Amino acid sequence: MRTRNGGAYPKPRSDNISSHNQRTKRQHAFGLGSSQRQDPPRKRLRPAERPEFFEWLHDDLVLSILSKLAASASSTSDLINVLLTCKRFNGLGMNPLVLLKASRKSMAIRAKNWSESAHRFLKLCADAGNLEACYTLGMIRFYCLGNRGSGASLMARAAMASHPPALYSLAVIQFNGSGGSKSDKDLRAGAALCARAALLGHVDALRELGHCLQDGYGVRRSVPDGRRFLLHANARELAAALSHPLFLPLLGSSPGSACPLLSDFGCALPPPDPHPANRFLIEWFSSRRVEPDGLRLCSHVGCGRPETRRHEFRRCSVCGLVNYCSRACQALDWKLAHKAQCVPMDRWINE
The domain of 76 spans 60-161
pLDDT in tens, 6-54: 566 555 554 454 555 555 544 444 444 444 555 556 555 555 555 566 6
Q: Which of 161, 180, 213 is the last residue of a domain?
A: 161
Are 107 and 99 in contact by the 8 Å Cβ rule? The answer is no
Q: Which of 278, 275, 246, 276 is nearest to 259 (CA)?
A: 246
Residue 67 lies in a domain: yes
Strands, DSSP E only, in 239-287? 248-249, 267-268
Q: Which of 134, 161, 188 is the last residue of a domain?
A: 161
169 φ, ψ (degrees, to nearest 5):
-65, -40
Whole-angstrom distance, CA of residue 242 vs CA of residue 236: 10
Whole-angstrom distance, CA of residue 207 vs CA of residue 121: 34
pLDDT value of position 58: 84
pLDDT value of position 46: 58
Helix axes 164-176 and 148-160, enclosed angle (nearest 10):
130
pLDDT value of position 30: 43
Residue 2 lies in a domain: no
pLDDT in tens, 81-125: 888 888 888 888 889 999 999 999 988 999 998 999 999 999 999
Whole-angstrom distance, CA of residue 328 vs CA of residue 347: 27
Q: Specify the number of domains making up the chain.
A: 2
Whole-angstrom distance, CA of residue 233 vs CA of residue 244: 17
Whole-angstrom distance, CA of residue 81 vs CA of residue 75: 10
C-beta neighbour count of 105 within 10 angstroms: 15
Whole-angstrom distance, CA of residue 40 vs CA of residue 170: 78
Q: Which of 99, 129, 161 is the last residue of a domain?
A: 161
Residue 249 lies in a domain: no
pLDDT value of position 278: 93
Please list the ranges in the chain whose pLDDT falls under 70: 1-54, 244-271, 289-293, 345-351
